[in-house]
Structure 1
């Protein structure tokens, strides 16, 4: 018998999220006349973007982040540490995603907030407690896009340990790679530590008993006693259990080893179907049905219910450039490609054109079995405004988006994940009954 209460399985609602990154997902987005490059690091800019997404009824927004500059080309193996060649035509630098989400949390009401936070080089205890804080200040709307960092630039920025030796060609081909396996193990351990820490305070641990002078019931606060290959954490968390209990863990995945990681640790996995670009890695050229089958195969090898996890929600990523009154989306992408000197070719498919075409693509993916889409606006704030005014209303009319919530809604509820059981309460309950 499992020591964790198995969650009640619920049907997955079809969700629509917005992925935010600087001036947009096209590398030359900052050069578009509708962009606001001077405002990229201002609080007003980010507040306006998230407010637009919330008023439009999007289920959540994600915030990109990494431990390296966006345009930093990796140096050769013999180059000295710290040597970098930056691309002067790209936006460089980001605001810290977790801090940005935490600042926005009390300024928003209903939308989910999912910052990207890496596990490589960072301390799992600090990551877990910071995410708990975000869940508290947002009233239960926090998520986490887990990411690990394999590149030398990230390792050099921290200076704690060298970057792993990776054969990138093998990684992109989806072939076994020892360096990648080590990163995945490290990320899985970090996620397990976070989940244990999130459970380390039971829901009723704080009693505030004025008569006895006890603020908490210490029997309901637990050490997690985690021992891994790279670190150990005793716990408990310094933050009481947050409104969702278990914060929604998401993961962007392009290859079978990452699908396996998602099956063991995540609630939501982002996939990138129907993209021929090399940046799609092992997902290159695969349909939504192909990738869904791979994810479900990985999921079948894990007893998620015994881990307290619901079935994995699969969300497809799509870069969108919508037609505006002044210019077609395809024309805008072509113009920005000319400015960049190369055609944009990221890890996700680019769909340019009228809202009806983009809705058709989303409908086809929904019919193939995805549980939602995450839209990446090519140019911000322009394409986000068009998503809000044209695409989301159309998706809603076609049953491809939720009606929109004006009241605070836990992010777990938006994904149909339900209430998260507490592993330590489940272990203690039989002892109390027998006593």
Structure 2
């Protein structure tokens, strides 16, 4: 057996502690699979007095994580501090500049600086691995970069945020509204005190940016992602979706179209025959479609100590075996500058929900706005009758351009019979 692989771990929160525990408990198996022991030689965290339930006897403690990153005696730095910039980015840059390999779970940092860090790693003959940054314990990066490497990708889409999936699943199962279910998710620890990163789609967009670069050989382009969260989804939307044969999911989606890259994160009506519609609770799923493989879906826990630590250590195993692949599947200097598809260039079917006065002529006025934009209607639903009162009206369109839908909704909102801003949800094809 060859010499041990010496690790320095920056950050001993939930994931960092899980990594230490996993290496301690499964150390013999890991050594057998890699041919060399993985040894936690150094750690750095904010509070060395905190009881983490770990034995750190014989492990060097660094109050300054940059000093640890520069330590010549370490082979790999594991960055688990978090944050798109600041100390986390400094740790990774310091390690890579010295030719040390880096394993990170930091999706925000990779989404904002992934291209730069990939170039830095390759110029210093170091590995940069980030399996744990996307979908927790699901090996999404390995599947795209290795298992499906023979394919050109048609599209990538998936459920990339467990908090949003839990909220939408619970709203469907209980009939409760978003705010009440969000509060429950916060009590259960599924959502942060400030849930914006999750419910506004930012977390999912970070992950999508990495999957897009990996699948299509482009520079990481977080800023071009069309992003919309789930705050506006109501129990009424979810009930109508079920009636129409759909489930509402927050999806991240990417595809190449006419030489441009489309990246979107937003709620979708997903048909019940699409396997993503059946992924519930805090689980994540990634569905990749290759030109030869066809669609392949992987599903599992998208967060948590055990699953995320498992993904981190899987990267450590690859490095211990001598596997050093380009972070985004092709050499960093070959990554293309993505040309983003304009957000209103999307083409598809739409679910429209209106609140209107129940009186003669209202539907005719709405139909006129749709007709003038050449939008064809597949279904129209109005439940109950309340002359002179407010009633919900649901319209499902045939496939049409998003720019046309937005223009029609602007006209409808100006009608005196329209009592609130119209809502729309994109319908995902099977």
**TM-score, structure 1 normalization:** 0.31
Q: Max radius of gyration: which structure?
A: 2
Q: Greater relative contact order (Cα 8 A, min sep 6): structure 1 or 2?
A: 1
Structure (1 or 2) with the greater strand fraction: 2
